[in-house]
Every structure is written in structure tokens, then in C-alpha cells.
Amino acid sequence: MLEQFARLNAKTVSLKISGNLPLLDVTDLCGVLALLDEHHSWYIYAMIEQRRAYNMELLHKYIQQLVIQEMRKREFKSRKVKLMDFAYGVTKAALFAHFNPRGKCKVCNGLGFKAAKRCEHCNGKGTREYNWSEKVQYGFPSRRDLTRDWYRKSCGYYDQFIESILHEIAAELSEKLNKVRKQAIAYKRLESAVLFDDDL
């Protein structure tokens, strides 16, 4: 999915892509994003590193609000961190981990599965996970009193909540992109059939 979007954006230089030609053009890309809410655009442009800081900030604000809503819905209150600071910190940590993978999972070698089964070590992601201590340090850098155990117990649920939102965004983008690709393939086949008929 990312390769298709990256190929359609001339400014994308950091993503290594294969030699396959894309089926889509810029009009198709705009059409895919136009069918979805704006946070999908923030996600994909952050992933392919176009105005990443700007799009990450917009995505952070959007997800932070969802975290706050979820906290209020569950009537959760942290004893050590204020509501806004908690939502900001856990969102910052989860987004950083999602957009900056540590590398390939050592168990499945980045495939996401092993022996035809989803890798339990990386939960099928194919990447190495950040530990709780690292997430505390990144999400709450000025709070030396917060421990990995605190993050696991207090932030663990919201960390997974944010990850599920990000996966949902990626899935929706992939679904829309695949539909456009299928339409492009069908159109090429129809075009070839018409040319073939004209030769008769």
C-alpha cells in the first residue's frame, strides 16, 4: 500500500520501492483520499514522510481527543498524571512506536508469520516492539517517577486503543486503494479487448 502512495508523490525519497510500475495515477490517489476522512491523509503522508512533522501533529491531536473521550467513557483517572498530560503522553508514545519501528522481529524475520501462523512475538506486525520503559521515556520524558510497571498498568489499554485506531486507518486506506487498483486492471483489460476487436 505505501509503495503505491509513495510512487505517486515525487517528494518521497526515503522509501525504498520495487521496480514495478504503478497502476494508479495522481488523480486516483486524490480520489482515494477524497473518499475518506482527513485523518487518513495525515496518516499516509506521515508514513511516506511528506511534511511529516505537520501531519504527525494533526494526527496526534485527532487521536489524543479520541483517547480523552475513551478515558471519560471508562471514567478513568490517573493518580499520578493529569488527564490532558496523560492523553498527550500516551498518544505521543504510541505514535512514535508505530511510525518508528525498531527493525525486524527476530522471531519471524519481519514476515509477521512463522510456519504459516501469525507470529505471536510481534503479533503479526513483523517489527520489534518498544518496551514499556522506552515508551515512558518518550511519552513522559520529564517524569522520572513514572515506571514501566505504571505505564503497563495505566497506559497499556490506551496504548493498544491507539494502535487499533492506526491499524483501522491503514486497513481503510488499503481497502480503498485495492478497489481502485481492481478498477484500473479491469479498465486495462477492457481497453485491450477493444483494441483486439478493432484489429479484426
What pLDDT is attached to residue 160?
93
Q: Quick one: average pLDDT of 28-41?
A: 72
For the cut 60, the answer to whether the pLDDT of residue 159 exceeds it is yes
pLDDT of amino acid 112: 75
The predicted model gives 165-185 an average pLDDT of 79
> To the nearest whole percent, how much of the chain has pLDDT over 90?
37
% residues pLDDT > 70 (the chain): 72
CA distances from 102 to 47, 127, 149 (A): 15, 7, 21
Q: What pLDDT is attached to residue 15? A: 44
- DSSP classification of residue 127: B
pLDDT surpassing 90 at residue 162: yes
- Cβ 15 vs Cβ 3: under 8 Å: yes
Residues 191, 45: Cα–Cα separation, whole Å: 32
Band the pLDDT of 173: cuts 50, 70, 90.
Answer: confident
| pLDDT greater than 60 at residue 41 | yes
Closest-CA residue to 52 (of 83, 113, 87, 9): 9
Q: What is the mean pLDDT of residues 192-200?
A: 56
- 100 or 155, higher pLDDT: 155
Beta strands in the chain (DSSP E): 113-114, 117-118
- Quick: pLDDT tens for 104-144: 777 787 777 777 788 877 777 777 788 899 999 999 999 99
Give the cell for residue 179.
478497489
Burial category of 185 from C-beta neighbours within 10 Å (exposed 0-12, middle 13-18, buried 19 and up)? exposed
Q: What is the pTM of this model?
A: 0.71
Picking from 5, 45, 47, the residue whose alpha carbon sits closest to that of residue 22 is 5
- Element containing residue 117 per DSSP (H, E): strand 117-118
Three-state DSSP state, 118:
strand
Write down the pLDDT at residue 172.
Answer: 82
Q: Which three cell numbers stand for residue 75?
A: 471514567
Q: Is the pLDDT of residue 34 over 60?
A: yes
Cα-Cα end-to-end distance for the chain:
39
